[in-house]
Amino acid sequence: MKINDLLATFLNQVKPEAKPAPGGADFAATLKEVLGGGQKTPAAIQGLPGLAELTGVNALGDASKPAAVLDTVLSRLDTFRAALAQTDVPLKKLSGLVQQLEQDSQKLHSLAQSLPANSPLRKVMDEAAALAYTESFKFNRGDYV
């Protein structure tokens, strides 16, 4: 099944409410605000200038709570995006984060398969898994060099 098909199906089933995000447009800042901080910065991004403030992506959430795992993976993807946007960050320092994204993709896919076929969360998890895998593949292929 193609991502566009999944996205179209998902958008037809879920109608988003029009309320502003509590922390603004930056997902990592919003997630940090909602979680209340308190988690350590992952080893994959420690020492990266300007990224030390991004937290909440240290470990995958409880496997019995797929939404927690999805939030963690989305936060890692946002961290990856922020790291790529910084020109002074060497790409070698991102390799640990990229490996985590590959593992996250596999974990999300297996968790999504355990959800009911008509669940909107399953479709979102499949899309996030595809995105995490695609970004790690593009990094390993050398697209960001």
pLDDT (tens digit per residue) in 90-104: 888 888 888 998 988
Look at residues 112, 126, 102 and name the one whose alpha carbon lies nearest to residue 5. 126
In a domain, 140, yes or no: yes
Tell me the whole-structure pTM to 2 decimals: 0.56
| Helices 3-13 + 120-141 axis angle, to 10 | 150
In a domain, 51, yes or no: no
String of b and e for 38-70 (b: at least 16 CB within 10 Å)? eeebbebbeebeebeebbbbbebeeeeebeebb
pLDDT for the residue 59: 54
Mean pLDDT by 10 residues, the chain (145 residues): 71 58 60 58 49 45 70 89 83 86 89 86 89 90 82
* Structural domain range at position 74: 1-8+56-145
Question: How many domains does the chain fold into?
Answer: 1
